[in-house]
Amino acid sequence: MISLSELLKSKDPVISIEIFPPKTERGDELLFEMLETLAQYQPRFISCTYGAGGSTRSRTIELCQRVQSRFQIPATAHFTCVGSSQDDLDHWLKSATEAGIRNIMALRGDAPQNQAEFKPAPGGLSYASELVAFIRQRHPNLGIGVAAYPEKHPESTSAAEDLKHLKTKIDAGADAAFTQLFFDNDLFFAFRDRYTAAGCGVPLIPGIMPITEFSRIKRITEMCGSTIPQKLAGKLEAVQDDAEAQMEIGV
């Protein structure tokens, strides 16, 4: 399968799809039924998330492997520092490459619910930039994506500080930056301009999440530091008991 740097060279618009490991057998069936439909739109790749605390690390690899085998579409596996020593990280990366995965989304990961702030595992890594450097050193042929925050990471003190951290991840060897979800295009365009001015020389990919359930999207935005414009939030609030109307507005 092709690496991210090659996948994103096209001058034509491209799309990718993000999925998460289902918790049930029926959920698994529904996911692949959906992917059968979405594959018709020829996504450039499909990325699979990594559960809280690394809870789905083996499922993430398995799901990526199945996606690549069934659809012949490159898969990108999300990967975090949470709960892993450097030996654990290297073991997981070897398992991923042996499964035919050539692209990794390198993330620090969220602190476990019982921790007020992120603390690395013994012998582990503290920052996504360290994970990028680790992957680039141990597995130099892997494609690496990193997260970007148009409205800054919730833990950053300022947008300038957050952009500095992003530049550190890119300088460590990332091939592309993928933004957190946003609902105001002007926020993204302003961030893109700052990103370019800072000398971040890899593709910046906007992350888009359709709103299919207002209560769910509110929880997600509260966790990741994104905002919903007041006008859009008002429309969704007014129809929060009408699933079809929410879908009409949010999609």
Indicate the residue type of 134: F
- Nearest-CA neighbor of 76 among 90, 60, 87, 58? 60
Beta-carbon contacts of 188 under 8 Å, excluding residues fewer than 6 positions away, are 150, 179, 182, 206
Give strand ranges (E) for 25-80: 45-48, 75-80
Q: How many helices (H) and strands (E) does the chain have?
A: 10, 7
Tokens read off for 36: 């059968």
Tell me which H or E stretch contains 104. Answer: strand 103-107
Active site residue 18: yes
Among candidate residues 6, 18, 151, 237, the one labeled active-site is: 18
Rounded CA-CA distance 251/245 in Å is 10
Write the DSSP assignment of 128-187 as a string of letters.
Answer: HHHHHHHHHHH-TTSEEEEEE-TT--TT-SSHHHHHHHHHHHHHTT-SEEEEEE-S-HHH
Cα dihedral 193→197→199→204 (10° resolution): 0
Tokens, residue 113: 């619910």
Pick the closest to residue 66 from 12, 14, 120, 29 (CA basis): 29
Question: Among all residues, which ones are annotated catalytic?
Answer: 18
